[in-house]
Amino acid sequence: MGIKVFIISFILTSLIFSLLYIPTQLTRPITIFKPSKSFIIPKPSNPFPVTFAYLISASRGDTAKLKRALLVLYHPANYYLIHLDSDAPETEHQDIAKFVSSEPVFGQMGNVWIVGKPNLVTYRGPTMLATTLHAMSMLLRIAKWDWFINLSASDYPLVTQDDLIHAFSDLPRDLNFIQHSSRLGWKLNKRGRPIIIDPGLHNLNKSEIWWVIKQRTLPTAFKLHTGSAWTILSRSFSEYCIMGWDNLPRTLLLYYTNFVSSPEGYFQTVICNSEDYKNTTVNHDLHYITWDTPPKQHPRSLGLKDYRRMVLSNRPFARKFKQNDPVLNKIDRELLKRRRGQFSYGGWCSQSGKRHNTCSSLQGEKYGVLTPGTGSRRLRTLLRKMLSAQNFNKRQCK
């Protein structure tokens, strides 16, 4: 009798505990699109030499650009996380979710996700940085990759993913591509001293950053660095920033909460003040970006007349582009061998025997095949130059 009561109460308590436990298990951070089980990956592990984890962020009105960017950048070796600003209308969120879930290849490979609980992103505010760190942390949790790449829907690649994977395959995996400098110039007074508050941290609706009347002194506990908001970060450095076993990334994040345009300085200042990581920086952002003279607040939009210089720059990415600018079709045709609405050319999707290359679906037997082209040669030229003895160490954290 005693044992029976004990067993029943034991069952009841375990039931209650498991019920209490389930809700915590269900706070899944991401929207996962169920992969269809029909396709069986030939090898259990990823057969590609290196893999990239992409964050592609977009805001209100960007959905057409976002869809095109995703198709152009897609490769089964990589991982893609999409962040659409929570300020975008519900119809745009649904449009993107529908697009991602209806592309059969994404479903087969299960490597495209949407941030299910998106953030409100304030222009020049720390909510932008929070979104990037949020994405890094999700991607670290769901997949094994070598580099994290942060792009927006207005960026476009100038090489195929086969080119990128091939060109990066013989690089040390700990390199971080972060353009940086400690010569702040006008930014010393315009960035280092002002204090701002980003209402996006505590309000539901979007508004501009607030400027606090008082200013602060320049830091003495660490050295400020600044640079490009576009970076390619190693897995190791991403873990360092997210896990924070050293307190530097965390204290700097708190400091940068009140800093104008924190994405242009956070990773630069963290890496250059870290003994363990500063020797891993490559002082370049791998983007082709041009400014008006004198520079305006935003970079110039690129067009057909920039095409030649873009290609000659050997850089793998360029920004920014207007939606459906004719130069994008030229890039598709000549650099990516991509047809409208399809993927960029790659070994994984090329159909043998077809007179014209079409890349619209996974060719099971080609999974793992890389077909790099001239883009890989161009990129390797640039990488060799950046990693040469006269550039690499000499340009670190100066």
Contacts with ligand NAG, residue ranges (CB under 6 A): 57, 128-129, 132, 150, 152, 204-205, 229, 263, 266-267, 275-276, 279, 393
Closer Cβ to ligand NAG, 129 or 318, answer by number: 129
CB of 273 to ligand NAG, least distance (A): 13
The contacts of residue 176 (CB under 8 Å, 6+ apart) are 231, 232, 233, 234, 237, 267, 271, 277, 280, 281, 282
Q: Write the Ramachandran bin of 286: left for phi over 0, alpha for psi from -120 to 50, otherwise beta.
A: left
Structure tokens that stand for 17 in this block:
């505990």
CB of 356 to ligand NAG, least distance (A): 34
Stated as kind and residue range, the H or E segment containing 157 is strand 156-157
Stated as kind and residue range, the H or E segment containing 150 is strand 147-152
Closer Cβ to ligand NAG, 100 or 349, answer by number: 100
Q: Write the Ramachandran bin of 138: left for phi over 0, alpha for psi from -120 to 50, otherwise beta.
A: alpha
Closer Cβ to ligand NAG, 269 or 350, answer by number: 269
Q: Count Cβ atoms below 10 Å from residue 265 Cβ, excluding itself.
A: 25
Structure tokens that stand for 254 in this block:
């708190």
Q: Count Cβ atoms below 10 Å from residue 57 Cβ, excluding itself.
A: 24
Closer Cβ to ligand NAG, 56 or 311, answer by number: 56
Helix (H, G, I), strand (E, B) or coil at 84: strand
Helix (H, G, I), strand (E, B) or coil at 331: helix
CB 277 within 8 A of CB 228: no
Q: Count Cβ atoms below 10 Å from residue 100 Cβ, excluding itself.
A: 19
Closer Cβ to ligand NAG, 152 or 313, answer by number: 152
CB of 66 to ligand NAG, least distance (A): 11
Length of the chain: 398
Closer Cβ to ligand NAG, 122 or 314, answer by number: 122
Closer Cβ to ligand NAG, 109 or 318, answer by number: 318
CB of 205 to ligand NAG, least distance (A): 4
CB of 266 to ligand NAG, least distance (A): 6
Closer Cβ to ligand NAG, 66 or 112, answer by number: 66
CB of 133 to ligand NAG, least distance (A): 8
CB 358 within 8 A of CB 342: yes
CB of 89 to ligand NAG, least distance (A): 10
CA 308 – CA 259 distance, rounded (Å): 37
CA 329 – CA 327 distance, rounded (Å): 5
CB of 174 to ligand NAG, least distance (A): 10
